[in-house]
Each structure stands twice: as structure tokens, then as C-alpha cells.
Amino acid sequence: MNVRYLIKNKYDECGVYHLTCLTCNVKYIGQIDRPFKTRFQEHLRDFKYGSNKLKFAQHLLVNSHAIGPMHTVYITNKGKMMDMIERYYIFIESKNNNQINES
């Protein structure tokens, strides 16, 4: 019997993610209930066209910094768990003075 395992691409999932500025290494923590890759494209588009809608793009554009890759932090569905995990990671990065999320 031939058993196949389906390997999902984690960027097709939703949950909590972080983006890192390649220049100063600060992080933006976010959550999305759509695929991670969709949200990364939104951040990338905002940066590329200089629209300054998103906090991460504002940081990059104002400081002439470089955009880094998106990293998945936790895969989960929208809800209280996602909110709690996002707040936790923002708290951790805030303690390290290493995040650019809204206060």
C-alpha cells in the first residue's frame, strides 16, 4: 500500500506572524485570518508603492530601511487564542525594546 502525506505550505495558513527590518532588526508582530502569503504581499505592496498605510512599511520608508522576510509564529484560527498569542509576542518584543507595533 502506498501512503502519501500531504504537506501543507505554512504560508497558506493563518495565524500570528512577524516581520523583521533587515537594517535595525526590529520586529512587527501581526495576525491574519487569511493566508500569511496574502498579508506579506500587502506589506510588500505598501512598502513598494510608499503608501504608508501599514506600520511596518512606515518604519521602512521613513528610515530608508530594507524589508525582511515574514516568519510564521503560530498557526491558528481567528479568535481569542490568536489575539492572546499576538499580545504575548508583542509583550516579549516590547520587553526587549525590539518591536514597532502601535503602543
CATH of the domain at 25: 3.40.1440.10
Positive/negative CA dihedral, 95, 96, 101, 103: positive
Q: pTM of the prediction?
A: 0.85
Would 100 be classed as within a structural domain?
Answer: no
Positive/negative CA dihedral, 78, 38, 85, 55: negative
- Report which of 99, 20, 36 is spatially closest to residue 72, judged by C-alpha positions: 36
What pLDDT is recorded for position 50?
86
Would 18 be classed as within a structural domain?
Answer: yes
For residues 86 and 56, what is the distance between their CA atoms, to the nearest angstrom?
16
Parent domain of 45? 11-95
Under 8 Å between Cβ of 30 and 15: no
| Interval 44-100: pLDDT, tens | 998 889 877 888 999 999 999 998 889 999 999 999 999 999 999 999 999 999 888
Would 4 be classed as within a structural domain?
Answer: no
Would 3 be classed as within a structural domain?
Answer: no
Number of domains in the chain: 1
